[in-house]
Amino acid sequence: FYVPVNGMHDYVKGAGGAFSAYADKMVKKSDRLCKHDHEGISVNLLGVTPLDFAYQKSYQKLSENLKAHGIMVNTVWAMDIGEEDYDRIEEADLNLVVSAAGLSMAMILREKLSMPYVIGTPLGEYTERIALRLNDAVKYDLSSLRPKEEAEALVRELKLSDDSYSLAYEMR
């Protein structure tokens, strides 16, 4: 597959398009069962690109912060991703979208795998809030989350690319 880009748009179109194309073409619709062998929950980090997290330690800090709250990182899309990670995407309990580039992939994974997602960047004081939202998203039935259209409108309203700490999925 290919991603149609022409260099006239921001990186979200290209990076987000690549993530979406992968999820659309390579992830099969299924009734997945989480297969992790650890306590707590696990997440895929979506939208970790060199443009948002150029300094390697900055994106590693995301994993460290989540681990401090008992949340394991299953895969990181797309920094340091390896072939083995492609097959493990379904093993996470949910996705954490850390930049606008990962949002469309999260939406496709929610549709194909019924895998919920939370939007936010676990840095500083926001780490605890995001950890609570991740736990809530796993704990409650998916129907308790805002509908897709409402979340998309909130992401646009918050201009998520400018404010990566905003959470689009809040519990009702």
Contact 138, 94 (CB under 8 A): yes
Of 48, 63, 60, 43, nearest to 18 by C-alpha is 48
∠ CA 153-156-161, nearest 5°, is 145
Contact 116, 94 (CB under 8 A): yes
pLDDT (tens digit, 0 to 9) for every residue of the chain, 172 residues total? Answer: 677 777 787 888 888 888 888 888 888 887 665 555 557 899 999 999 988 888 777 888 999 999 999 999 999 998 878 888 888 999 999 999 999 999 999 999 998 988 999 999 999 989 999 999 898 888 764 434 455 566 666 566 655 443 333 344 433 2
| Confidence at residue 38, expressed as pLDDT on a 0 to 100 scale | 56
